[in-house]
């Protein structure tokens, strides 16, 4: 099947390369994205509200943003590369997005080949009317579905899983849109949250395990769907509840209807939302992210104390855990690293070489605060290790006497396939090195990770239930919550490597 790349371009032009290689599509970083979604029903300023909601979700994706509205007769769509604040702050754009219902999407920076046609929400005119879809997550059988669809004569314009969902809905033999959607959802596997807009309804759905988050909110009697509760706060909306795993909610003038499309089972949300992705002020599945991160710091200080003078966070994501660590350890908390906010997140930079430059561009040592000190450095996680290595070196060059590195999560040994961009297993430092090996690579005086048990304790659990884990935690455990269908088909080698690891 076809992977395509299209370079963004100023002026009215489009440049496409139509690649014909299944492998690249899977092995690349390209299809694995973290995104944010938002929708509102029956509000006079629907598009403006969506723009504000997306702005609050901007940490989930900075590459592109889109909004689709429905004005009772016609769907309107605006999709742009870049930040919400840049693309959707002018009145003219918002005014073109007429109507009382709208959904939106922010998209994360993938490997440089994002093309405007992949920017969501996607839209299709089906026989039963228009359907716009915004999607956060990743299907583990998306390629298989696309292959089947093409075999059946479908023409795919994008490389996204989202388009596969649209095709499934378009091809469903059911008459009612809700039945078509159920039909489609039952064919897909993976982790996803969807916000959809039809001629009449705003619809949300969350995968059978609730891997990706989705919440229901309410503003003056109008219902809202959003990836995180912080997107409700920005507009003063009320948090109603998390969407349940395997639940579809259908919002219309008659209110909110809840439909289960998957059999009941315990929720198993992605634990990485707490560690890194979600905004600290969000409440995800009933837990405040900031509080969880501070608890993680407390657990980490208990598990791996360090003889040091000060605690220094790797800003910004390491700050809450560092505060928890400092309070538990009774050490002063100091801003020993200054972050330049005029660049994006390291974790989000697309290529390895840019990542390396990124660190230099993004963090600098606050020499006056750390010179001559023994420091505990707290970061949220350790992926390839390249950033950590540079930060340790930077601390030493700025005069730190000792650098004790503390990671506020367990070692990442397995890649993700549910919407988080992670490198292949071979490039994960913890997958190829033991603790002492990692310490040497990073150059710290000591290195410690939070244990998996500590992580579950910080989450408020007594311990991990190995038979039925409370969270999706495969990055740390290799315990994938769904079959990896595409991977088995398209990359037996990677599949074997993962199997070995177990």
**Pattern of binders to its own copies over 447-486, x per CB under 8 A?**
----------------------------------------
**Pattern of binders to its own copies over 335-364, x per CB under 8 A?**
x--x-xxxx----------------xx--x
Q: Is 380 annotated as a binding residue?
A: yes
- 12 near its own copies (CB under 8 A): yes
**CA 451 to centroid of chain Cα atoms:** 23
Nearer to its own copies, 42 or 157 (CB): 157
Among 111, 112, 123, 432, binds its own copies (CB under 8 A): 123
Q: Which residues pair with 38 in a beta bridge?
A: 104, 226
Residues 197, 131 contacting (CB under 8 angstroms): yes
> What 3-state class would DSSP assign to 223?
strand
- 90 near its own copies (CB under 8 A): no
Find the shortest distance in angstroms from Cβ 312 to its own copies. 12
Taking the C-alpha atoms of residue 168 and residue 190, their distance in angstroms, rounded to an integer, is 15
Nearer to its own copies, 249 or 378 (CB): 378
Find the shortest distance in angstroms from Cβ 188 to its own copies. 16
Taking the C-alpha atoms of residue 292 and residue 310, their distance in angstroms, rounded to an integer, is 22
Residues numbered 135-164 forming contacts with its own copies, rule: CB under 8 A: 150-157, 163
Find the shortest distance in angstroms from Cβ 358 to its own copies. 10
- 111 near its own copies (CB under 8 A): no
Among 23, 96, 260, 440, binds its own copies (CB under 8 A): 96
Among 42, 111, 366, 451, binds its own copies (CB under 8 A): 366
Taking the C-alpha atoms of residue 202 and residue 253, their distance in angstroms, rounded to an integer, is 10
Q: Is 156 a catalytic residue?
A: no
Taking the C-alpha atoms of residue 106 and residue 348, their distance in angstroms, rounded to an integer, is 14
Would you say the C-alpha torsion 260, 266, 270, 271 has a positive or negative sign? Answer: positive
Find the shortest distance in angstroms from Cβ 425 to its own copies. 28
Find the shortest distance in angstroms from Cβ 484 to its own copies. 24
Residues numbered 390-419 forming contacts with its own copies, rule: CB under 8 A: 397
Nearer to its own copies, 117 or 374 (CB): 117
When computed from its CA atoms, the radius of gyration of the chain, rounded to whole angstroms, is 23
Angle between helices 289-303 and 319-329 (to 10 degrees): 50
- 1 near its own copies (CB under 8 A): yes
- 117 near its own copies (CB under 8 A): yes
Q: Is 86 annotated as a binding residue?
A: no
Choices 53-61, 201-209, 304-312, 437-445; region in contact with its own copies by CB under 8 A? 53-61
Find the shortest distance in angstroms from Cβ 58 to its own copies. 4
CA angle 179, 143, 188 (to 5 degrees): 25
Find the shortest distance in angstroms from Cβ 132 to its own copies. 9
Nearer to its own copies, 83 or 202 (CB): 83
Q: Is the peptide bond before 316 cis (omega within 30 degrees of 0)?
A: yes
Give the residue among 96, 97, 64 at the shortest CA–CA distance from 80: 64
- 286 near its own copies (CB under 8 A): no
- 84 near its own copies (CB under 8 A): yes
* Active-site position among 35, 230, 270, 475: 35
- 82 near its own copies (CB under 8 A): yes
- 283 near its own copies (CB under 8 A): yes
Give the residue among 352, 484, 380, 265 at the shortest CA–CA distance from 29: 352
CA angle 134, 139, 144 (to 5 degrees): 120
Write the CB contacts of 191 (distance below 8 Å, at least 6 apart in sequence).
137, 138, 207, 209, 211, 212, 270, 418, 419, 472, 481, 482
Q: What is the DSSP string of 363-389?
A: EEE-HHHHTT-EEEEEES--SSSHHHH
- 50 near its own copies (CB under 8 A): no
Give CA torsion, residues 320, 326, 329, 330, to 10 deg: -140
- 24 near its own copies (CB under 8 A): no
Catalytic residues: 35
- Binding site: what residues are annotated? 317, 379-380
């Amino acid at each position: 099947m076809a992977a395509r790349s299209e370079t963004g371009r100023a002026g009215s032009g489009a440049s496409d390369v139509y690649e014909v290689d299944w492998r690249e599509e899977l092995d690349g970083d390209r299809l694995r994205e973290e995104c944010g979604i938002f929708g509102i029903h029956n509000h006079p300023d629907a598009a403006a509200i969506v723009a504000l909601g997306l702005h609050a979700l901007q940490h989930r994706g900075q590459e592109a943003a889109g909004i689709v509205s429905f004005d009772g007769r016609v769907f309107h769509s605006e999709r742009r590369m870049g930040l919400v604040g840049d693309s959707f702050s002018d009145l003219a754009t918002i005014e073109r997005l007429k109507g009382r219902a709208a959904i939106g999407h922010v998209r994360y920076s993938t490997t440089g080949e994002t093309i405007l046609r992949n920017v969501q929400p996607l839209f299709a005119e089906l026989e039963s009317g228009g359907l716009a879809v915004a999607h956060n997550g990743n299907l583990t059988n998306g390629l298989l579905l696309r292959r089947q669809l093409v075999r059946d004569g479908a023409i795919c314009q994008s490389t996204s899983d989202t388009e596969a969902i649209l095709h499934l809905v378009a091809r469903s033999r059911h008459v009612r849109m809700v039945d078509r959607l159920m039909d489609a959802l039952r064919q897909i596997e993976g982790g996803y949250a969807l916000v959809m807009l039809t001629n009449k309804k705003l619809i949300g759905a969350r995968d059978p395990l609730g891997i990706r988050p989705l919440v229901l909110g309410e503003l003056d009697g109008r219902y809202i769907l959003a990836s995180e509760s912080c997107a409700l706060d920005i507009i003063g909306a009320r948090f109603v509840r998390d969407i349940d795993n395997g639940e579809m909610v259908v919002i219309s003038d008659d209110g909110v209807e809840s439909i289960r499309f998957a059999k009941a089972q315990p929720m198993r949300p992605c634990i990485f939302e707490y560690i890194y992705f979600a905004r600290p002020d969000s409440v995800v599945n009933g837990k405040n992210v900031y509080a969880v991160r501070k608890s993680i710091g407390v657990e980490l200080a208990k598990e791996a104390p360090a003889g040091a003078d000060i605690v220094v966070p790797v800003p910004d994501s390491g700050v809450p855990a560092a505060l928890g660590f400092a309070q538990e350890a009774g050490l002063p908390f100091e801003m020993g690293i200054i972050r330049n906010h005029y660049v994006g997140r390291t974790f989000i930079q697309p290529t390895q070489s840019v990542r390396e430059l990124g660190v230099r561009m993004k963090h600098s040592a606050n020499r006056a605060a750390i010179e001559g000190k023994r420091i505990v450095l707290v970061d949220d996680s350790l992926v390839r290790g390249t950033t950590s290595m540079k930060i340790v070196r930077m601390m030493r060059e700025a005069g730190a006497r000792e650098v004790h590195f503390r990671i506020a999560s367990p070692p990442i040994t397995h890649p993700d396939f549910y919407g988080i961009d992670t490198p292949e297993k071979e490039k994960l430092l913890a997958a190829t090195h033991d603790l002492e090996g990692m310490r040497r690579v990073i150059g710290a005086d000591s290195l410690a990770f939070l244990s998996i048990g500590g992580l579950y304790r910080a989450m408020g659990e007594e311990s991990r239930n190995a038979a039925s884990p409370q969270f999706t935690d495969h990055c740390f455990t290799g315990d994938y919550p769904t079959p990896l269908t595409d991977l088995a088909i398209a990359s037996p080698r990677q599949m074997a490597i993962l199997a070995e690891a177990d």
